[in-house]
Every structure is written in structure tokens, then in C-alpha cells.
A and B are shown apart, each in its own frame.
Chain A
């Protein structure tokens, strides 16, 4: 798949929840060919003195635009939050693989924190394709949510404080909504490691198909630096390459849980 180095224009960059921002970028090339699950590697500013770009999931692609959803976490995201309309930003993408095999089972999508970005992208894609699905969004507090709790639309909110939407965490929400679903399900999730680990264990225990989009430290984003390893299940052959340590940037970021060890 072709990748682009693109200088994109900021269309909007707004705070949508507590400490959480959504930026729309005019990106005629990347927006034409990106898929839910893929990411871009961002230079937060032209005088960025750090070495590493910042990888971010694509939250939407349409009308020549892509969007990202991010939380101010460090220096890079702080700089990003200062982007103004018409600013130019240097990005590389689309990178990585995409969500796959969502056709034959009922998809349950779970996003935690800003891990919601690639999940929202898949949700919108499935809805557009008339593939019914359920969406669960988890956050620490009510203030970090930017979607409405809409059970009628199969969109459910949860918080760690149990003060919004379904009382409980994302997994509690999953168990509650499963009561109303008769079809075999498949889980698609992205979010903090603790949440993903719980979903991993739950899916293994209940024999549910499950894909996770994983985040790691990353430098190049294109399979060169070998820094963004994800540990996979493998036979104990001593002399292999990318069999035990896959790269999140080109072998992922989306992995089937069958491929992963519980130390992912």
C-alpha cells in the first residue's frame, strides 16, 4: 500500500472534552486511501526538537479530510493543541494494517480514552455499510466523554467513576449488552493496556473472536527502526525474524488475539 509524506492544512482543532482535542486536517492524498485502524506519524511542529514523530490513529477520512482525536499528554500533544486553522502540519501515512474480518459476526466495538479514535472510525464505517454493531466507550470521568449515551443507537458510555451511562467499566457494559444480542459476536478494541488486557482475558475465556489495536513507543512508523515490538505467540525456533517480536507499525497496529501472548 502506498504511503505519502504530506503537508496538510489544519481545518479545525477543537477541545471536545476534558483535555481531549479533535483536529481535522485537509489531506487530499492520505484521506483518499486510508482505512479504519490505520495511523499517521505526525511532526507536532516545524521546530520540533525531538527525534520521534508522534503516531496517532486516524479517527475519520472523508471529503479530503482526516481527523485525529488526542489527549494532551506531553510536549508533542501540547504543541498539537496549539495548532490553528490553516496551520501546516507534516504527516506521513496512512500507516499500518486495518481492522479486518468484521463481516460474519456481530461486531462489538470498545474504545477506552483516546483509544476511541480508531474504534470510532470503524463504527462509522460499519454504520455506513449498514453493518449493525454496538459501541462501548470507556473513560475515567464523565468530562472525558464527547459522545452521548444512546442505548437506542447501540452506543453506550461508561466511566471509572460509574457516574455516566452504564454503571461499571467497559467489560461490565459488554456483559450487560450481551444479554440482548443473540448473534455470535466479535470484539474490536483499542484503549489503555489494563482495559485491553481484561478484554483479552475475557475473550480467551469465552472463546470470542477479538482484535486489538495496540499502542507502543514508535520512531519511524514504516518498519525500519524495529523499535515498536509486540510479543507474539511463536514456536521456539531460535533463528527467526518478526515471528516472536512483531512490529506494531507494519505487522499491526491491529492484531488478532490468537496471535498475541498475554504479555502484549
Chain B
């Protein structure tokens, strides 16, 4: 009813959790049955450890939040040593998010992850972090470089390659097409939207880096528009991301053209939200006599123009 496939990898349901909002799955193990999810995308890992940006790094906004973490993470060697063993024990799909600043960073990180005994089924490639000068954003705004990076990675792995797209571009379709042409198995959309907040008492920006990434329900309409544009442009699967907080939000993304979705910021409010949405989706399918939720993909009915 809820299952779907990307290439030969089966997802038991379309609910994944977004990179950076679920750590490595072990942080929530006491309070969530992580294995009920369709998959986990782990926090961006880079070749070397990173401290990330100085504080303040987060701020609350209307129906969302701004963040500028700066890819703080333990680095790929420690990831392999500390996180892979516990991730291997999970009975859900593991997708490793990789970030970098140069082509070689991505490729070397990928090679290291390919060489270990791990159950992960693929990689989500962060070419769209808005918060680090060298955070891959140069890749995510340039179709040529996106295609080159994708095809270089394709030579290294047969596992899934999912390119994570930024909404902070003139044409998200061009980057999606470049990903497809480079050999990506899927794209995920969207990463956070560039935003800003200002403290009127101190006249300071609410984030140390001035600008940050806006996430949460505030960006859902932007995400839906981007997913639908991408759907019209490419034929590989799409993973929809942006402010999802209910099963009806998930249905909207699927109708817009998504195969799977990721839940992000709402995990902070309710770490169990993904599991709850899976149950709600089953109920939706029963009520609406939907045999396979994937039948709804792109089934948007346009007005007659």
C-alpha cells in the first residue's frame, strides 16, 4: 500500500527523515521506533570534522526556523568508526548525506564510505547548503558542475545517488536535469530557503552569519512549487522536502510529483511525527480506496487553460 522503489531498493513507506533533523538515528532510539520509517538520511558528513559556525546558529520564525549550523559534524573517519555500527543494526533504509567544498572532498568521502562494511543503500549529496561559503553551494547553482560531480560519483558507486537541490537558484529544473544527465538515481528537493531575522533591540541579525536557511511549514508552498517544476522536467524519482507536518502534506507532495518525502524541522517538535504520519497514510489509503500510494504521483489535475 505504502511501499515504493528507487532503482532496486525498496522503501516500506514513503516517509524518510531529513538530514540534520535526526542525527544518526541513535539519538531518538529511546522514544521512537525508528524502524517504522521508510528511511533515515543522516546528518551531512564531510571529509574532515567541522566545528561549524559560531553562535547564534538558530532562530525561531513564524511557522518555521532559521538555521546556520555550518555543517558541524564529526568527519567521515569518525562517522565510519562510531556511527556505521549502530546504523547497521537498524531495520530501515540508511542514506548517508555527504557535503564538501571541492569535488575531491565529495569523491574522497564517498570512496571511504564505499570501502566499509555498511548496510546503507545510498547517498544524498548536499550541493545546496546555504550556510557555508564553501558548502557546496557553488555546485548546486551550476548545472555543468552538478552534472560533472554526479557523473564522477557515479563511477565510484552503484548505490543510490540522490542530488539534494536548492531553491535558491534561478532554475531548479536546470539543476535537476543536470543531475539526471550525470546519472543520479533521484533528486531531493528542497534544501532550506535563504532567510534572515533581525533583533530590533540590538540591531543585530538573529544569526551570526547574517543569513541562514529557513525551514518548517513556512516553506511548504515553495517546496511544492519546486517539486512540481522538477517533476515536469525530469523522469527520475523525486524526494519532496519542506515543512511536512501531516499525512495531507505528504499527499500534496506526492500529487505534485514526489515519490518519497522527508520530514525535517517538525522532528524537533515531535520526534515521533514520521511514525505517526505512516499510520495516518495507511488510514488515508484505506478510506480513499488507494491501493498504492505511488499511484498518486503527479496526479495533479490542472485547470483548463
Contact = CB atoms under 8 A, between A and B. Distances in A.
Interface of A: 2-5, 43, 48-53, 90, 92, 216-217, 219-220, 222-231, 239-245
Contacts of A48: 269
Nearest to B206: A217
A225 B21 contact: yes
Interface in B264-280: 265-272
Contacts of A231: 54-55
Contact of A51 (B49, B55, B216): B216
B63 to A, nearest CB: 6
B31 A3 contact: yes
B168 to A, nearest CB: 21
B64 A5 contact: no
A223 B23 contact: yes
A49 B74 CA distance: 33
Nearest to A1: B30
Nearest to A52: B60
A113 B64 CA distance: 29
Nearest to B57: A227
Contacts of A239: 48-50, 75
A5 B72 contact: no
Contact of B268 (A2, A5, A225, A244): A225
A5 B272 contact: yes
The 8 closest A-B pairs by CB, nearest first: A227-B58, A5-B31, A241-B49, A224-B23, A239-B48, A229-B55, A219-B268, A241-B74
Interface of B is mostly: loop
Interface residues of B, number: 41
A67 to B, nearest CB: 22
B57 A226 contact: yes
Contacts of B271: 5, 92, 220, 222
Nearest to A230: B55
A219 B65 contact: yes
A231 to B, nearest CB: 7
B65 A223 contact: no
Given A51-B64, A51-B265, A241-B72, A4 B48 contact: no
Contacts of A50: 60, 269
B69 interface: yes
A3 B30 contact: yes
Interface of A is mostly: loop
A4 B65 CA distance: 25
Interface string B14-36: 00000011110001101110000
B52 A53 contact: no
B31 A224 contact: no
Given A51-B268, A240-B49, A241-B49, A2 B54 contact: no
A140 B171 CA distance: 55
Contacts of A49: 63
Contacts of B48: 239
B56 interface: yes
A224 B56 CA distance: 16
Given A51-B216, A240-B51, A244-B51, A217 B56 contact: yes
Contacts of B28: 222, 224
Contacts of B97: none
Most-contacted residue by chain B among A50, A217, A219 (CB, 10 A): A219
Most-contacted residue by chain B among A2, A222, A230, A231 (CB, 10 A): A222
B13 interface: no
Contacts of B226: none
B73 interface: yes
B67 interface: yes
B27 A222 contact: yes
Given A5-B31, A52-B65, A241-B75, A224 B22 contact: yes
A227 B267 CA distance: 14
B268 A43 contact: no
B57 A229 contact: yes
B90 interface: no
A53 B267 CA distance: 11
A245 B58 contact: no
